[in-house]
Amino acid sequence: MKDFIILIREDLKRQSTLSESEFQSEIQEYTDWVDEMSKTGNYVSGEPLEPEGKYILKDTVQSDGPFIESKEAIGGFIIIKAENINTATLLAKACPVFKYGGHIELRPIMKY
């Protein structure tokens, strides 16, 4: 089994427009997705990310949030175990983010 990181890219401003019940409903969808991966032994860890952050360049720090000139940012990450990238892709495709216009970046984690 190999480790992969799922970077969940979504419109963070969209989240601020949700009612509390809508937000909790979406959180439950993510929880259910993670629970399914836990049952199969594929889930390792993951966390949502706060919407604030810094974009750091070599000589400057830009405080325009976690993204510069983009409405989409990484809203969270999940680390999973899978036999290969094709299996990891199938697990990632079940993420609720696609229902809300978001995207995923899936990357193998390098071991050295």
Domain at 2-108: CATH code:
3.30.70.1060
pLDDT in single tens digits along all 112 residues of the chain? 999 999 999 987 887 788 999 999 999 999 999 999 999 999 999 999 987 787 788 887 766 555 545 567 888 999 999 999 999 999 999 999 999 999 999 999 999 9
Secondary structure of residue 58 in the 3-state scheme: coil
Q: Please give the biggest Cα pair distance in the chain.
A: 46
pLDDT for residue 58: 82
105: Cβ contacts below 8 Å, ≥ 6 apart: 6, 7, 9
Helix (H, G, I), strand (E, B) or coil at 1: coil
Distance CA 73, CA 12 (A): 7
The CA distance from 92 to 37, in Å, is 10
Q: Which of 19, 16, 28 is nearest to 96 (CA)?
A: 28
Q: How far is CA 72 from the centre of its chain?
A: 12
Measured distance CA(12)–CA(40) in Å, rounded = 30
Q: How many whole angstroms separate alpha carbon 47 and alpha carbon 34?
A: 11
Q: Structure pTM?
A: 0.86
**Domain spans in the chain, listed from the N-terminal domain onward:** 2-108
